[in-house]
Structures are given as structure tokens and as C-alpha cells.
Structure 1
Amino acid sequence: MISSWIPLTSSEQLTDIVRESEEQPVIIFKHSTTCSISATAKSRLERQWADAAPANAKFYYLDLLRFRPISNEIAQKFGVRHESPQLLLIQQGECRFDASHMAIRLNDVQQAIS
């Protein structure tokens, strides 16, 4: 289980994420709390965490229903199409990997970091 979700609740945090990504991998998980597919993807992600979590990564969680404007800003800032659920890997200020729906797998993130 992911023990340290960092809630992503303000656009100012995106500036922090870019800065943090210069030092360590930053992962953003965008989740729609009313969508069964998103709930399944989140559950699968949490089950993979113990075995496949990237070392020293920071993990942000965005509730899309409460903070949709932030999701739109993420799409614009990192040049990715908005999807839900969606996982993004931010390194050196850029989105280096993204996946959505049932294609969200931490092993793929781990490979993208390596």
C-alpha cells in the first residue's frame, strides 16, 4: 500500500514538482473518485507498490473531481493529453512517461527511470 500520497491540491505545487524532479523522480497519479476503472487502476497501483515502487520517488495524488483545473494545467505544462486515470513520471522538469487506464504499471515506470 502506498503510505505517503502527497495530495496535489494547488497549481503552485506544480512549480515544486518541477523543482523536485531535478533531484528525484516525481510521479503524479490522476484519479477520478467516482469512476470504477479509475478505482481499479488505483487499487492495482497500490498492490504493486511493495514490489515495484521506484526508489526515492515522490508520489502525488490528484483528485480529478475536486481539482480538475490542476489536471488541465498538468496537461498543458507537461504536454500530455488529459486522461483518467493517468500516471505521469516527471524527471528533469519533463514528463518522461505516462500511462492511463489499465496500462498503469509501476514496473513500466521503473524501466522508464532506469
Structure 2
Amino acid sequence: MNWNQLTELSQLEAIKEESKQQPILILKHSTTCSISSTAKNRLERNWKQESVGDLKPYYLDLLKFRPISQEIASTFGVEHQSPQVLVIQNGECIYDASHFDISFAELAEKVA
């Protein structure tokens, strides 16, 4: 799994535009939370690129980049959670899940 790092607020506008060409996954991860680490590891273990087509994954360390995490919630109209995944397509969040509800199978189904 090849994560793209989300480290700048300006990337959110680029992600919205990019999502018009391909779906985008954003993982909001807390590096100090065991639940977040477990959810990230489960996602990485189950990742099969052929199951998600051209879904492009972005990783946000929300402790280092808290303002970006808050802007994600505002921009895409979701409640902040940690850990949390969002699927962005055509500039909008079409799916979000948090904690142990994060499921590769559900992600694959949303972008199929």
C-alpha cells in the first residue's frame, strides 16, 4: 500500500479536484492511539489494489496536522473521528467510517 502524505491544507482543494478523475481515500490516523493503529494495520493487511481500482490513498497524521483534520470535517461535512476513513469522489465524501467500523471490504464495495 503506497500512502500519499497529507501535510498541507492546500492539498484538500487538490484532492477535491483529483477526486473528479479517481476516487480518493483519506485515513485520519492518531499515532498514539492503539485503536487507530489496529484499524490502520487491518486496512493495510487487507489492501488489494485490484479490488479498489484506482482508489488513491492519503494518510493524515492528525496529531501533527490537527488543522487539516478539522478542515477535512468542515470541507466534507463529516463529524471528526479518529481513526477515520473517508472516500472522496467528485469532490464529495461518499463514505466515512471510524474505529473498528473501518473495513476494506466496504471500501472496495463503495468504489466498485
Q: Which amino acid aligns with 1:111?
A: E
4+ residue runs over 3 A deviation: none
- Asked if 1:96 corresponds to 2:99, the answer is no
Match runs of 1:33-112 below 5 Å? 33-50=31-48, 53-112=51-110
Task: Give the equivalent residue in structure 2 for 1:113.
Answer: 111
TM-score, structure 2 length as denominator?
Answer: 0.96
Provide the C-alpha distance between the structure 2 equivalents of 1:62 and 1:84, rounded to a whole number of angstroms.
11
CA shift, 1:107, in A, is 1.1
SS of equivalent to 1:84: coil
The gaps in structure 1 that reach 5 residues or longer are none
* Contact 2:55/2:111 (<8 A) preserved: no
* Contact 1:52/1:106 (<8 A) preserved: no
Identity of aligned residues (%): 54
Provide the C-alpha distance between the structure 1 equivalents of 2:70 and 2:44, rounded to a whole number of angstroms.
25
CA shift, 1:110, in A, is 1.5
* Contact 1:27/1:87 (<8 A) preserved: yes
CA shift, 1:7, in A, is 0.4
CA shift, 1:50, in A, is 2.7
Task: Give the equivalent residue in structure 2 for 1:26.
Answer: 24
CA shift, 1:51, in A, is 7.0
Q: Which amino acid aligns with 1:107?
A: A
Deviates more, 1:87-96 or 1:52-61: 52-61
The gaps in structure 2 that reach 5 residues or longer are none
Provide the C-alpha distance between the structure 2 equivalents of 1:51 and 1:11, rounded to a whole number of angstroms.
27
CA shift, 1:52, in A, is 6.9
2:10 corresponds to which of 5, 9, 12: 12
Provide the C-alpha distance between the structure 2 equivalents of 1:49 and 1:67, rounded to a whole number of angstroms.
25
Provide the C-alpha distance between the structure 2 equivalents of 1:112 and 1:58, rounded to a whole number of angstroms.
13
